[in-house]
Every structure is written in C-alpha cells, then in structure tokens.
Structure 1
Amino acid sequence: MTAMPRYRTDQSPRALATRLRALCTARVPVACGVYAGLSAPVPTSALHARITHAMARAFVAGTSADVPRFEPPPSAQLRLLTAASWDRLDGAGPDMTTFPVDLASELWWRVHERVLGSSRLPDRALGASRLPDRAFGSSRTPDRAPGSSGTPDRGLGSSRAADRAFGSSRTSDRRLACDLLLRLGYSHRAAEVIGLSVIDPRKHVLSPDLALEQLAVLRCHLPSSAVEAMALRGARSGLPPETRRDLALFVVFRNAARGADSTSIRAAAALATKASSELPQNGFTGLVNRARLHRALAAVPFVRRDIAETHRLLGRALESLTSITPATEMDRLAWADEAYALYAFLVRTHLTVGLGQRAAGYAAELAELSPGDDRTWALQGDALAACGQLEAALDAYGRGVALGGWGAARAAYLRAFVLERLGRVAEAAEDYVLSQRIDPTSSVAAGQVERALPGATYAAG
C-alpha cells in the first residue's frame, strides 16, 4: 500500500495574486468556460460547472423556485483561476460590468442584465458609495486581481442596484442570484442582491429565507468562527425547521472539513436531527435531504476515528440516495451533487482504514459522476495507489493534469510522487517542476523540486 502525501498550498490573498500570475504563463488552459463567461459546458466540465450553468439558465428563465440548494464549488475563485489559465487577467476583475466582451456568452450578459438592471449601467448608477472591506474584517480575496481593470463592485451595504433589478421579486430570485454570483466570484454583488449590510456578527439575526446565503457571503469577509457561531445560534432559534436544519448542517460540515472533534459539531448534529424530524421524510426532496443528513451525522464519528459508526451512517445515506430516481434536469443535478459528496466521503473513509479496493470502487463512481473534476482523479489516484496499482494511479493523476488550470498542480505533484516510487526519477522531476510552475505557492512542491534538482531555483510570479 502506498500512502499519498497531502498537497498543501498557501491560501492567502497575496498567494492568490502570485498563483494567478503563474497560471498566465504555465500553459495549462482550462477547457471549460463556464466560470469565466458562462459558456456552455463541454465534456471536460465538472459537475459543479454544469450545475452553475443550469442555475444561470434557470435564473434568466425566471424559474428560480425550481432550483434547489447545491453544494458550493471547490473554490470561490474559479473565475479568476480559469481566466488566468487563459492568460486573460482582464477576466479576473472584481466587477461583472467590466468582464471582457469576447469571453462572455449571451447567457453571461442576460444574467448581468437581470442582476444589475442593465447590461452597461454607468458607474454612478451602480449604487451607493463603496464601503471598505475592513467593515467586514479581512477579505479572503484581493480587491483587484493582477492585471484587472474597471471599477470594483460596490460595497456590501448597498442594495439600490438590486432593488432596481429585482423590485418586488420573489425570495427565490434573490437566493439564486446570490448563489450564482458567489459561484462566479462576485461576493460584493451577491451581498447587494440579498440586501446584506454591515452587521455585528454577535447580534445579527439571520433571515428565515436567506440565512444560508447570508452566511455564504459573510464567509468571504468574517472569520470562520464568527460565521459558525451565527449559524449555531440560528439553528437554536425559532427559525423554520428547514432553515434550522440547514444552519446546523453548515456547522457540521465546516467543522468536519477541519477535522475538528468539537462541542459545536456534536451540538449541530443533534440540532440538525431534531429539525429534520419536523420535515417531510419521503419523496425525492425528502430522501435527498435524508441522505445529506446522514452524511453530515457520519462526520461526527469520523473526526473521532470511529470508522464502524461512520460507515453505518454513510450506508444509511447511500440507501436513501439509491432508493430514488430523479425525474427532471434539476433533480438529476441535485441527486448527482449529493452522490458526488457522499462517494467522495466514502473514498476518504475507506482510505483512512486501508481499504483501498473499496475506496477504488467508490472512486469509480466519482469518475462516472464528474470526470471533468480534478478532485475525482486525485481521489481515484489515491485509491489505486493504496491498492498498489501504481501504473493505474499514474493514469488517474494524468487525467487530472490534462484538465489544466490550478488543479493540474496537485495532479502533477501526486503523479511525480508515484513516478519516484517507480524509480522514474527524471520523469518525476519534470512533474515536480510542472507543479511548481503552475502553483509556486506550494511549499511541498518547492521542496521536491529542490530535492529532485539540487540547486534549482524557481521564480514565483
């Protein structure tokens, strides 16, 4: 069994700027243009990109009420990273209005028009004066990407542009607009469409209808601890049961992502269970939500390394999910979205206890669901390596490299690691250099380049 190393990279705003500059010259363009222009999905588009495009189509068609909540994409910076991989930092700016015309699809401008009220509003019409980011604390992304142009999005407290665009629109329109703008990397504009203003996180009362959207925006500007505390208070409040359940699940998943065995994750799991008991359990939506609940509950024993209980709960989640057949396009996407998250969790839990063959089986399901996602091939490669199938693992990581973009840095690093184990040192060195060329902020890749090529230097950005 070969245990794969963890790929680590710097997530600071300064590192993002370095990463974007490096991507411009790395020659690993992303084929999918969903995030940078809302082009139609292609065969190499990830499931989360197909979901984003479907959300945009529903938004402009006025069918927002038919769109469920989906898992967030793996990064809020996919537009920036995609544009940089094309050497188009003019597509990484903070204002949707200044997005390059030659990169934007008709759907992009239809979304823009619906959000802003016009395809090219003059700057003075876009809302009130800009509030500084410090009103919300430090931002996770820089105000201006390197090489970007145009006026930044207006402040988080401004909602006049949204009022013009939406008027008395349904809450579902505002919810979907916010979710879509966050996926496209416009967090300030997302705040506007839900009317979010500068708040005191210790006293703020979450909206019954837009609580999850408020938290998603605030995550871009507040420490995780403050946002999770707000969610936990909301889960204990008199909000509707669906909102309380979703807030509690938010806390569970955030703690699980950190591997934190905390009182918060246990309290949130109990609150999610209680709120779910007040909601319908049958039908398509009920069963998908039941699968999601059990996936969340499984995270509690997993962070304690109680693998038997983890797998029991994941088995219940899988049972709920496989007992239903989606009927509409949105249902199919919702089913696949939950299935992807569930199978990814199953891969990780089986790898934890050394069950590589079982992990590889679940990884194959991921490849069926989303072959255009670099995470798919990273997990499949890890599972195959755990089984000792190193040549097959190389192929899996190679699929990740071929997808291009920032994700290719991790794939190249992992492929290099396997090549070293196979004694193919020269090829491994090439892949370590490729990984470092794509993402010079990764300390692990930099260390391997120096070890493989003593005396080598690499200029970051």
Structure 2
Amino acid sequence: MTAMPRYRTDPSPRALAVRLRALLTAQVPVTCRVYAGLSAPSPDSALHARVTHAMARAFVAGSAVPRFEPPPSAHLRLLTAASWGRLDGVGPEMTTFPVDLASELWWRVHERTLGTLHTADRRVACDLLLRLGYPQRAAAAIGLTVIDPRNHVLSPDLALEQLAVLRCHLPSSAVEAMALRGARSGLPPSTRRDLALFVVFRNAARGADSTSLQAAAALAVKASSELPQNGFAGMLHRARLHRAIAVVPFVRHDIAEAHRLLGRALESLTSITPEGEMDRLAWADEAYALYSFLVRTHLSVGLGQRALGYADELVELSPGDDRTWALQGDALAACGSLDAALEAYGRGIALGGWGAARAAYLRGFVLERLGRVAEAAEEYVLSQRIDPTSSVVAGDVPGGGDGGGAAAGRQGAGRRPAAVRAVRVR
C-alpha cells in the first residue's frame, strides 16, 4: 500500500504574496471563473463555486439561502485572478475590480450590499463577501467594527458570521474560545449548536484530541437535542452533527466508533430528498464534506478499496474540485492502481490555479515510485513553479506503505501572537 505524502502550504501573508507572484508566471490559469467576476459556472466549476454563484443569485433576488460549508480558501479570488495574470483583480474593494472581468451579477451584489439589509440578508451578504475575498466589506455588512474577544457577546442571529470575519483578524485560539463561551451561554439552541460545531471542526482540522474538542462535541449534542430532528433541515443537521462528533473517537484512534457515527451521518443524509436548487446544493455540500471525511478515515487505517468507493462519490458530486482528484488519486494509489492515480492527479492539474501545485507534486511522487524519474522531476518543477511556499510531510498509513523520499515539513511562518486583544476590523 502506497502512503501518499501530506502536502502543506505556509498560511502566512508573506507566503500568500509569494504564491500570487508565482501564479502570475506559472501559466496554469484557473478554468472556473466564478471567484473572479461571478461569471456563470462551467463544467469545470467545483461544487463550492456553484454554491457561491447560486448564493449570489439568491441574494440579489432576496430569496432564502441556507448555511453552507466554508469554501476551501479565503483567497480564491486573488489566486484565480493571479493565475490569469491579472493583478488588477486582487484589490481590496469591489469597485476597483476590472470591468472586463466582472459580470452583471457582480455589480448587482455590490449594489445590494450597500443598501439596507434585514438580518437574514446580512448573514448571506457576509458569507458571500467572504467567499469573494472581501473581509472588510463582510464586516461592514454585519456591523462589526471594533470588538474585544474577551468580553464580546455574540449575536444570536449573526454569531457564525462574526466568527468567520474575526478569523481573518484574530488568533484561532481566541476565536474558538469565544465560540465555546457562546455554546455554553443562553443563546438559542440552533446558535449554540452551530457554535459548538464550529469549535469541533476547527479542532478536527488540527487532528488532535483536546478538552475543547470534547466539550464542544458534548455541547453540540445537547443543543441538537433541543431542536426538531425531522424534515429536510433537521435530518441535514443531524448528518452534520454525527459527522462532527465522529471526530472525537477518530482522534483517539477508536476507528470502529468513528465509522459507526459516520454511518449514522450517511443514513441521515440518504434518508432525505432535496427539492429546489438551494436544497439540492445544501445536500450536496454536506455529502461532499462527509464523503471526504470517509475517504480520509478509511485511508488512515489501510482500507483503500472502501476509500475508493467513497472517492467515486466525490467525483459524482464535484468533478471540478482539485480536492476530489487528490483524494481519488490517494485512494487509487493505496489500492496499488498507480497508473489510474496518475490520471486522477492529472485531472487536478488540468483545473489550473493553486490547486494544481498539490496535484503536480502527488503525480510526481507516483511517477517516482514507478521509476519514471525524469517525468517525476518535471512534475516537481511544475509544483514548485506554482507554489514555492509548500512543504511536504512523509505519509504515514497504518498497516503498510512508507512515505519514501518526501521532504520533512517546514513550520509556517508569520503566525500572529496568541495574546488576546481588542481589534479594529478594517
């Protein structure tokens, strides 16, 4: 069984600037144009891009929009524009965005965010503006200016939006502590549940057990018990809850219990039928997150064939997402299907942009295993040309395989100090 290396990227602002400069000359333009100008999705658009475009259309029409998973990067607009050689598209204001790139929908979103918005519209505006890479405008949409994370009381209606904006300005520890306080407070059950899940997923991203993770999982279960469990929205939230609490046994290496909870999440998800575009997108968004977790958990214990079955579901849900092809390539490599893994990683490269860097590195890794050293070197060069800030950690799959030849990872530079402080959002 081939253990694929873990590809990492330096999260610091300085590294982002380096990536933008690299993309200008890498000649790997992003094929999807949603995140730079809100152009209509194409067959090469990822599910999260289709969600963003649908949110924008619903927002300008004043229609209801459910909550979705966050997109994979807060800098998609910047990275997309840079991949086209358009640094004039990476500015901090919507009004300075290049006219030849902006669609009519772009300007309609811009105009509506400047008007008077009800609470539900402010929530959607904040989420949409963050997806488009405008955190200052997102903060203004929900009235967030100066905040002290030690004393701030989260809004019952806009708590998650406040946290999403503050993640751009505060250390993760301060934001998570604020969310955990909110989950223990007298806020409405749906808000407390969402705050607790926020903490669970943030801890899950680090992959380590902690008292915060355990407390947040328990608080999420308690808040969910106070809410309706039936209907489309109820079952969708139930699936998300079980996906979240499965993290607790997983980080403790209790794989059987983790898979039992993920199975319950899958049962909840498959028991409902979405009606209407936004419900279908909400269902697919949750399904993508769940199947991604299932792929990773099965790969971590050496169950490559099971992981491959779930990876095929990701291909059905979002073939325009580079993460889809990375996970399918990993699953194929774990099953020993190295030629098929090469094709999967190649599909990721074809989508262009920053995500092509990881796909190129993994393709090079497999080529090296096949003894095609010269071709592997070309892929490594391409990966480095797209993202010179990356680092790689050797794979570690229990039950077989080795990381073989991957470089040791570098620690991310430019982290903010952990001191809690009052922050002006600007």
Structure 1 CA distance for aligned equivalents of residues 10 and 225 of structure 2: 41
What's the Cα RMSD here? 1.1
Indicate if the aligned counterparts of 2:5 and 2:392 stay in contact, CA closer than 8 A.
no
Q: 1:22-79 deviations in whole A, cap 9, x for unaligned? A: 101101001111010000000000000000000000010011xx21100000000000
| In the alignment, structure 1 residue 388 sits paired with structure 2 residue 336 | yes
Give the secondary-structure state (helix, strand or coil) at the position aligned to 1:32: coil
Structure 2 CA distance for aligned equivalents of residues 260 and 416 of structure 1: 30
Please report how far the alpha carbon of residue 442 of structure 1 lies from its aligned counterpart in structure 2 after TM superposition: 1.7
Please report how far the alpha carbon of residue 11 of structure 1 lies from its aligned counterpart in structure 2 after TM superposition: 1.4
Please report how far the alpha carbon of residue 170 of structure 1 lies from its aligned counterpart in structure 2 after TM superposition: 1.6
Choose the corresponding residue for 1:201, options 144, 149, 162: 149
2:87: which partner in 1?
89
Please report how far the alpha carbon of residue 440 of structure 1 lies from its aligned counterpart in structure 2 after TM superposition: 1.1
Structure 1 CA distance for aligned equivalents of residues 226 and 197 of structure 2: 15
Counterpart of 1:7, as a letter, is Y
1:266: which partner in 2?
214
Structure 2 CA distance for aligned equivalents of residues 332 and 107 of structure 1: 22
Structure 2 gaps, min length 5 = 394-404, 407-426
Q: 1:330-356 deviations in whole A, cap 9, x for unaligned? A: 010000000000000000000010000
Please report how far the alpha carbon of residue 443 of structure 1 lies from its aligned counterpart in structure 2 after TM superposition: 3.7
Within 5 Å, give how 1:400-415 maps onto structure 2. Answer: 400-415=348-363
Please report how far the alpha carbon of residue 358 of structure 1 lies from its aligned counterpart in structure 2 after TM superposition: 0.2
Within 5 Å, give how 1:18-33 maps onto structure 2. Answer: 18-33=18-33
Indicate if the aligned counterparts of 2:89 and 2:97 stay in contact, CA closer than 8 A.
yes
Structure 2 CA distance for aligned equivalents of residues 444 and 200 of structure 1: 37
| In the alignment, structure 1 residue 249 sits paired with structure 2 residue 247 | no
Choose the corresponding residue for 2:369, options 408, 411, 421: 421
| In the alignment, structure 1 residue 333 sits paired with structure 2 residue 281 | yes
Give the secondary-structure state (helix, strand or coil) at the position aligned to 1:305: coil
Mean Cα deviation higher: 191-200 or 37-46: 191-200
Structure 1 CA distance for aligned equivalents of residues 290 and 235 of structure 2: 14
Choose the corresponding residue for 1:296, options 244, 248, 252: 244
1:219: which partner in 2?
167
Structure 1 CA distance for aligned equivalents of residues 219 and 7 of structure 2: 34
Give the secondary-structure state (helix, strand or coil) at the position aligned to 1:102: coil
| In the alignment, structure 1 residue 230 sits paired with structure 2 residue 140 | no
2:386: which partner in 1?
438
1:10: which partner in 2?
10
| In the alignment, structure 1 residue 370 sits paired with structure 2 residue 370 | no
2:305: which partner in 1?
357
Counterpart of 2:106, as a letter, is W
2:133: which partner in 1?
185
Indicate if the aligned counterparts of 2:183 and 2:196 stay in contact, CA closer than 8 A.
yes
Q: 1:430-460 deviations in whole A, cap 9, x for unaligned? A: 0000000001112449xxxxx99xxxxxxxx
Q: 1:350-380 deviations in whole A, cap 9, x for unaligned? A: 0010000000000000000000000000000
Give the secondary-structure state (helix, strand or coil) at the position aligned to 1:8: strand
Structure 2 CA distance for aligned equivalents of residues 300 and 103 of structure 1: 44
2:55: which partner in 1?
55
Higher relative contact order (CA 8 A, sep 6+): 2
Counterpart of 2:93, as a letter, is D
Deviating 4+ runs (over 4 angstroms):
none
2:108: which partner in 1?
110
2:412: which partner in 1?
none
2:413: which partner in 1?
none
Structure 1 CA distance for aligned equivalents of residues 387 and 172 of structure 2: 25
Structure 2 CA distance for aligned equivalents of residues 260 and 218 of structure 1: 23
Choose the corresponding residue for 2:122, options 174, 181, 203: 174
Structure 1 gaps, min length 5 = 117-164, 446-450, 453-461
| In the alignment, structure 1 residue 38 sits paired with structure 2 residue 38 | yes
Choose the corresponding residue for 1:342, options 263, 277, 290: 290
Structure 2 CA distance for aligned equivalents of residues 368 and 385 of structure 1: 20
Indicate if the aligned counterparts of 2:52 and 2:128 stay in contact, CA closer than 8 A.
yes
Counterpart of 2:15, as a letter, is A
When the two structures are superposed, what TM-score results if normalisation uses the length of structure 2? 0.92
Give the secondary-structure state (helix, strand or coil) at the position aligned to 1:7: strand
2:422: which partner in 1?
none
Counterpart of 1:71, as a letter, is E
Please report how far the alpha carbon of residue 81 of structure 1 lies from its aligned counterpart in structure 2 after TM superposition: 0.3
Structure 2 CA distance for aligned equivalents of residues 95 and 300 of structure 1: 41
| In the alignment, structure 1 residue 308 sits paired with structure 2 residue 256 | yes
Please report how far the alpha carbon of residue 246 of structure 1 lies from its aligned counterpart in structure 2 after TM superposition: 0.1
Structure 1 CA distance for aligned equivalents of residues 11 and 202 of structure 2: 17
1:150: which partner in 2?
none
- Would you say how many aligned residue pairs link Structure 1 and Structure 2? 395
Structure 2 CA distance for aligned equivalents of residues 219 and 302 of structure 1: 26
Mean Cα deviation higher: 194-203 or 285-294: 194-203
Counterpart of 1:22, as a letter, is A
Question: Structure 1's 286 and 408: CA in aligned 2 closer, same or farther, altered over 3 A?
Answer: same
Structure 2 CA distance for aligned equivalents of residues 115 and 68 of structure 1: 18
| In the alignment, structure 1 residue 279 sits paired with structure 2 residue 227 | yes
Structure 2 CA distance for aligned equivalents of residues 239 and 202 of structure 1: 17
Structure 2 CA distance for aligned equivalents of residues 281 and 443 of structure 1: 43
Q: 1:72-101 deviations in whole A, cap 9, x for unaligned? A: 000000000000000001001111110000
2:397: which partner in 1?
none
Within 5 Å, give how 1:149-160 maps onto structure 2. Answer: none
Give the secondary-structure state (helix, strand or coil) at the position aligned to 1:366: helix
Counterpart of 2:74, as a letter, is A
Structure 2 CA distance for aligned equivalents of residues 272 and 18 of structure 1: 39
Structure 2 CA distance for aligned equivalents of residues 95 and 250 of structure 1: 28
Structure 1 CA distance for aligned equivalents of residues 44 and 87 of structure 2: 22
Choose the corresponding residue for 1:68, options 56, 66, 69: 66
Structure 1 CA distance for aligned equivalents of residues 271 and 15 of structure 2: 44
Choose the corresponding residue for 1:239, options 161, 184, 187: 187
Structure 2 CA distance for aligned equivalents of residues 181 and 307 of structure 1: 38
Counterpart of 2:3, as a letter, is A
2:96: which partner in 1?
98
